[in-house]
Structure 1
Amino acid sequence: MSRFNRSLALAAVSFAALITAQGSAQAGAFSIREQSATAQGYSFAGAASGSGGLSSIFWNPATITMAPGWQSESHLSLIIPRIEIDAVAPTQTRVFGNSGEIGQDAVVPASAASYQINETLWVGLSSSAPFGLVTDPRENWSGQAYSRSSRIFSLNVNPIVGVKVNDWFSFAVGPSLQYFDIRLKRAAGIVPNAPSVILEGDDIGFGFTAGATLTPFVGTTIGIGYRSSINHEVEGTLSAPAGVLAATGVQLPIRASLNTPDQITVGLSQVITPAVTVHAGFEWTNWSRLKTPAILGPSGGVVSALPLNYEDGYFYSLGLDYKVTNQWTLRAGLAYEQSPIDTEIRSTRLPDNDRIWLSVGAGYQWSDKLSFDVAYTHIFSKDTPIRILPGHQDYAGLPFVADVDASTDIVSVAVRYRWDDPKVAIPAAPIVRKY
């Protein structure tokens, strides 16, 4: 990246770090999907084909060519998870109680900006938190030997260059700068007030994003976007009390190689009438690439591991919008998410499962330059068992069987502003095939 883009990236990271409370995974595994209040109103249907407005560049950077002039958007999502783990027989430690509420409310920001240089070329910048997780059960509970708290935090900055090749095809590409931080804590024993083992580390990695849009017919937009995997060489410490790694308590410098999953998103938006547009979406996330990262000590030997071994994740969505007036637009969406985590590998840190998303939203055009969006989503989770028994990748000699009660509410708001004068700016140049 140029010095200018590096400065923008560092500024965006600093700003996001100031306003982000914490990450809370609300996509499969530890992904965060809440990057757009606009697209959330459709349960993210058509996010890759532009249903999210400028914020769609998170999924498909080529949608930047749908934004005329000089624009910016800011999005803020409040995620309210409700997750509790209740141990059942034959869990011998269930006398120590259930987890309590392990989900943590979170505020997740995202922003996007674009500038149209001419009828062919656009530049833009996206800042987001694509990965995040906070689960925090009671300090003393029946599953403390498997987890006490877990935190994953990320910040991503993505400059973009978009090109409108002709009236029906556009593409875009850009580098990604990502900060990744992880902290995992568990008890070193099963009795209350047992000391903790803590692993923590962070890294900055680089990747890229690319995408294309196609409009084969008037009113039909197809988009496909790709976000690459990013390799993080995480460096940090592993702290353990006496008797766990050595006869005395230790704090080992450690490192681990972790690859975030790459992702493909496909969107379709179809105008039905001047007032009604329907959207569809599909998302594939390559979680199976995570495997089991080894945790290496200062001499290069393996001191521990992170057994992830996820399957791939899939997300299917449908949505529609209805333009009530020139100012008001109503949105609704439904989605089904296939989690990369099943009972064979499900842990107390991340008791994820398949989910159904139900969303509603609204947009208000205040003026030619200013508009607002709001969305609400409720996520219904399937019944979720945890079965850490012999053969499970987390099993450490202590059977742990439990049921998880989980649901999530999400409220998102956004503001969009156009900085130039729409009346004298470069023509919007919609992507429309003329034959």
Structure 2
Amino acid sequence: MRRTRALRNLRLACAGAAGAVILLTSSALMSEAQAGAFGLRDQSAYGEGLAFAGMAAGGSLSSMFWNPATLSAVMGFQTETSATFVAPRASIDVLSPFTSNEGDVVANAALVSGYDAYRINDRVVLGLAITEPFGMRSKYDFGSELRNQGIAGTSSITTFNINPMLSVDLTDWLSVGAGFQAQYLDIRYTGVGASLGQLSVPGVPLPLSLGANASLDGDSWAYGYNVGVLLKPREGTEIGIGYRSGLKYSIDSKLTGSVTGSLLGQSLLTVPLDLDATAKLETPAKLSVGVRQAITDRWRVMGGVEWDQWSRFKQVSVQAKDKVAVSGVGEITVPEQDIVFGYDDGWFFSGGTEYDVSPKWTLRAGVAYELSPVGNSARQFRLPDVDRVSGSAGFTYKACERCLIDASYAYVAGVGDDHVQSSSGAVRGEVNADAHIVSLGFRYRFGGTPTGSHAN
């Protein structure tokens, strides 16, 4: 009987993971909810209501994204799914050398994440997270002056992360966790010529450059790990530290468009381009620290700090594998070129609180401030990211003995320096950005003893 129940619960947990895969696949092309550069922090409807304060110290099953050691709170089988809708706005006033107003360069987006966990004995818990840690898409219409001038085009990065993990309770106050990351990344970058600049080709006297229509497309997998520790120094206090490793990509890509040659401002040749290429980039590591403190049996406060190592993302290096036939010159090798980003490390600070109004209802709220990794010199029209402040609120409703429903709303506003420029610095403007975020989540416990609405 016990074996039959366990098998049924395992099938339900696997079904939850499969559902998350389907939802993530359907939403992958729309992901734009950003958390500094093209990072995505919106991995939890529960956490959204707290401005993600204290997520590395637990609170819901989705806390495993920040810290795998938080799995230690799991009893029996548990599953959680979150769906987030983001309505961002990023309009740009171009100030020089021409004056224009670019409307929204980003579109509405959807983001879905899924989590499953199973306690196999008194000390060990297995978990699985399926998320989208990174994503970005900006687009300038064909009538845009910035697009026509080859300054900005369509930029898109999509990821899909599969992260099995486990936690081990070493003592009643100390748990550790670790996991393996397999992450898929797809990149599309149009108008890449302006970012790469002139091509320095040995033996070719004519200055060459990629045309404004040049595009880079490709995808690849990369692998990494995540680790964490959870401390409970006294009753009601939880301190968590989690680390997600950075990932290195070598992306099989297509470089298409044209190569142009000009002398004294006069175009002398245009050669079609359709080459296999390799694009190399690194995504940042993340360190999260969270604290949860129970003030009373019904009231809890949280705080968190996150560090994202965006300084790893200095450039995307592009190396063509094939040669280009140029009339009158012969076949030439396109040298390795860099799309320079030059980001700094990013920081995120948050505080939040939640209160159990009744056994069925919990209310929460949070505030956060983020230092963008995109500094003044690195802020370009493709990704006009700025520092931001956010406020959020949400609730949990205990719909049945083993099921919880989470709902949250957040408003994010750009603050600080808002100047933006082209890669050459010749075109300048100002960016106005904000976002409205709505998130819904569902949590279900297949086994173990159900508790209040704030339980994992």
TM-score range, shorter chain: 0.7 to 0.9
| 1:383–1:405 Cα contact (<8 Å) kept | no
Q: Choose the corresponding residue for 2:359, options 319, 322, 326.
A: 326
1:217/1:224 CA distance change after superposition, 3 Å: same
Paired with 2:76 and 2:315, the residues of 1 have a C-alpha distance of 46
- Equivalent in the alignment of 1:415: 442
Q: CA deviation at 1:20?
A: 3.6
- Inter-CA distance 73–9: structure 2 relative to 1 (3 Å threshold): closer
Q: Contact (CA 8 Å) 2:28, 2:158: kept in 1 or not?
A: no
Q: Which runs of 5+ in 1 are unaligned?
A: 1-6, 431-435
What does residue range 120-159 of structure 1 map to in structure 2 within 5 Å? Answer: 120-144=123-147, 145-159=150-164
8 Å CA contact retained: 1:12, 1:157: no
> Compared with structure 1, are the counterparts of its residues 206 and 187 closer, same or farther at alpha carbon in structure 2 (3 Å cutoff)?
closer
1:221 maps to amino acid: E
TM-score, normalization: structure 2?
0.84
Query: 2:103 maps to which residue?
Result: 100
**2:91 pairs with 1:72:** no
Read off the aligned partner of 1:355 and give its amino acid letter. R
CA distance in 1, matches of 2:411, 2:420: 27
Q: Give the secondary-structure state (helix, strand or coil) at the position aligned to 1:24.
A: coil
The one-letter amino acid of 2:279's match is: A
8 Å CA contact 2:33–2:111 kept in 1: the answer is: no
1:288 aligns with 2:301: no
1:264 counterpart residue number? 287
- Which residue number in structure 1 is paired with residue 224 of structure 2? 207
State the alpha-carbon separation in 1 of the partners of residues 192 and 107 from structure 2. Answer: 20
The corresponding residue for 2:266 is: none
Q: Following the alignment from structure 2 to structure 1, what is the Cα–Cα distance between the partners of residues 222 and 192?
A: 31
Change (3 A) 1:241 1:55: same
Q: 1:282 to 1:10 in 2, by over 3 A?
A: same
Q: Pick the aligned partner of 2:213 from 176, 191, 196.
A: 196
* Per-residue deviation, 1:104: 1.1
Match of 1:229 in 2: 246
1:357 Cα offset (Å): 0.9
Looking at structure 2, the residues matched to 294 and 134 of structure 1 have their Cα atoms a distance apart, in angstroms, of 20
Separation in 2 of the partners of 1:56 and 1:269? 12
Out of 221, 233, 240, the residue aligned to residue 216 of structure 1 is 233
Shift of 1:306: 1.6
How many pairs are equivalent?
405
Give, as a single letter, the amino acid of the residue that structure 1 aligns with 2:46: T
For residue 40 of structure 1, the aligned residue among 39, 48, 65 is 48
Larger Rg: 2
| Secondary structure at 1:143 match in 2 | helix
Task: Name the structure 1 match of 2:397.
Answer: 364
| Conserved? CA contact 1:157–1:176, under 8 Å | yes
| Aligned match for 2:412, one of 364, 367, 379 | 379
The alignment partner of 1:247 has SS state of strand
Residues 9 and 329 of structure 1, relative CA distance in 2, 3 Å threshold: closer
Superposed displacement of residue 257, structure 1: 1.6
Distance 2:348 2:122 in 1: 34
Distance in 2, Cα, partners of 1:376 & 1:266? 23
How much does 1:379 deviate?
0.4
Instruction: Output the amino acid matched with 1:171.
Output: V
Normalising by structure 1, we get a TM-score of: 0.88
Whole-angstrom CA distance in 1 between matches of 2:212 and 2:426: 20
Corresponding residue number in structure 2 for 1:3 = none
Q: Structure 1 residue 384: deviation in Å?
A: 4.6
RMSD: 2.4
In 1, distance between residues paired with 2:350 and 2:364? 13
Shift of 1:243: 1.7
In the alignment, does 2:115 pair up with 1:112? Answer: yes
- Residue 174 of structure 2 corresponds to 169
CA distance in 1, matches of 2:338, 2:37: 18
**Would the alpha carbon gap of residues 12 and 411 (structure 1) be closer, same or farther in structure 2, given more than 3 Å must change?**
closer
Q: 1:387 to 1:356 in 2, by over 3 A?
A: closer
The residue aligned with 1:91 is: 97
Q: Residues 91 and 399 of structure 1 are in contact (CA less than 8 Å); yes or no, is this contact kept in structure 2? A: yes
Q: Which residue matches 1:340?
A: 373
The answer to whether the 8 A contact 1:386-1:400 is kept is no
**Contact preservation (8 Å) 1:21, 1:108:** no
Counterpart position of 2:198: none
Identity %: 33
Change (3 A) 1:328 1:342: same
Task: Output the CA distance in 2 between the equivalents of 1:255 and 1:66.
Answer: 43
Alignment match, 2:339? 306
Counterpart of 2:421? 388
1:240 aligned partner: 257
Alpha-carbon distance in structure 2 between the residues aligned to 1:187 and 1:59? 34
Task: Give the 3-state SS of the residue equivalent to 1:146 in structure 2.
Answer: coil
**Other structure's SS at 1:166 match:** coil
CA distance in 2, matches of 1:412, 1:100: 26
Residue 428 of structure 2 is aligned to residue 401 of structure 1: yes
